[in-house]
Structure 1
Amino acid sequence: MKRSFHPYTRPPALPVKSKFITEQVKTFLEPPYFLSENSNKGNVYFHYTNEAGMQGIRRDNAINASNKNEHGQPAGLCRIYLTDIAPELMRQNSARYAPLIFGNAPYQSWQNKLRYCYVLNLSGLSPEKGDGEHICYLKDIPFLPIHYRLNGQLINRVIARKNVATGLVI
Structure 2
Amino acid sequence: MKPLKEVAMSYMALAEAQKKLQGGMYADAAAESIKAMEISRTMPPEEAFDHDGFDGLCYAALAPAQAGLGEYAECLQSAERALRYFNRRGELQKDEGTQWIAVVFSRAVAMQETGSPEEAAKGFRIAGEMIAERKGELPGREDMLREITERLSVLGKESKPAEKPGYRAWWEFWS
More strand by share: 1
Q: TM-score, normalised by structure 2?
A: 0.24
Higher helix share: 2
Query: TM-score under structure 1 normalisation?
Result: 0.24
